[in-house]
């Protein structure tokens, strides 16, 4: 059986040099690579159990596998009707990526696959599982109960991974000015890959948020050039 390791060096053709291979791997976010790898392992297990080739996969075989997953799996045990449409789409994308990595053809838009996925999406129409958002009043009440310990103060901070005032190893830079805080993100989900994005937080209009950041910087003794947020162990 042919094996392709998605998200690792073996997934990039050997004809590329080391630097090109590194950039090629960076084309996918780490979470995407992990998700692809998980789905590829499931496909490998299915192929091994069925005596089927994992590469040069027939679209009809993939369509059958997808259909079987739509009505089975852990979600079915809890009354959710098998794997979600999003998960099945990820599985197809992982198979396509593995074939591309091995320089093998795979027609992911074959009629068998598209029709099966269209039918699954129609039959399994469901709202995404999402927690209800915290209302502003409840957030204020939660923050009011927090004390001054590092762990509690860390909980009030935004999810920036920044450094002051140099980028260093973080994903952004926090610049502190007299009238505002400036957050410069080297990478942003809203921007194109490689395009930085800047947010300005005026002190006058966001006094609570700015005060929380100032208190954290003082409590954690963050100096210029150091990461703003450090990992806090839950214990």
Instruction: For 168-206, write each residue's pLDDT tens digit.
Output: 445 678 888 888 888 887 766 665 666 677 888 888 888
217 C-beta neighbours (distance < 10 Å), count:
17
Bridge partners, 182 (sequence order): 175, 200
Give SS3 for 147: coil
Domain boundaries, the chain: 9-123, 136-219
The pLDDT > 70 percentage for the chain reads 60
Query: pLDDT at position 177, please?
Result: 81
Mean pLDDT score of the chain:
75
Query: pLDDT at position 159, please?
Result: 44
pTM: 0.51
Which CATH fold would you assign to the domain 9-123? DNA polymerase; domain 1 (1.10.150)
Nearest-angstrom CA–CA distance, 128 and 71: 17
Nearest-angstrom CA–CA distance, 71 and 117: 13
Q: What is the dihedral of CA 30, 33, 35, 37, to 10 degrees?
A: -140
β-strand pairing of 172-176 with 197-202: unpaired
Instruction: For 88-140, write each residue's pLDDT tens digit.
Output: 999 999 999 899 888 899 999 999 999 999 999 888 765 555 566 656 566 66
Nearest-angstrom CA–CA distance, 16 and 136: 51
Longest dimension (CA), the chain: 68
205-217 mean pLDDT:
81
Return left, alpha or beta for 168; rule: phi > 0 is left, psi -120 to 50 is alpha, else beta: left
Higher pLDDT, 44 or 24: 44
């Amino acid at each position: 059986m042919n094996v392709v390791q998605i998200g690792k060096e073996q997934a990039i053709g050997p004809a590329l040099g080391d630097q090109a291979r590194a950039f090629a791997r960076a084309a996918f976010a780490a979470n995407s690579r992990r998700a692809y790898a998980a789905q590829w392992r499931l496909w490998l297990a299915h192929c091994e159990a069925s005596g089927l080739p994992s590469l040069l996969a027939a679209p009809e075989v993939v369509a059958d596998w997808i259909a079987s997953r739509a009505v089975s799996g852990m979600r079915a045990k809890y009354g959710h009707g098998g794997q979600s449409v999003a998960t099945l789409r990820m599985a197809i994308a992982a198979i396509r990526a593995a074939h591309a990595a091995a320089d093998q053809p795979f027609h992911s838009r074959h009629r068998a696959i598209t029709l099966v996925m269209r039918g699954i999406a129609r039959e399994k129409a469901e709202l995404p599982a999402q927690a209800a958002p915290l209302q502003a009043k409840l957030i204020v009440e939660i923050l009011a109960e927090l004390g001054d310990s590092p762990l509690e103060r860390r909980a009030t901070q935004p999810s920036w991974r920044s450094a002051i005032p140099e980028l260093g190893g973080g994903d952004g830079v926090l610049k502190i000015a007299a009238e505002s805080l400036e957050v410069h993100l080297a990478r942003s989900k809203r921007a194109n890959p490689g395009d930085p994005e800047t947010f300005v937080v005026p002190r006058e209009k966001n006094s609570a948020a700015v005060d929380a950041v100032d208190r954290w910087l003082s409590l954690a003794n963050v100096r210029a050039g150091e990461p703003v947020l450090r990992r806090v162990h839950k214990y």
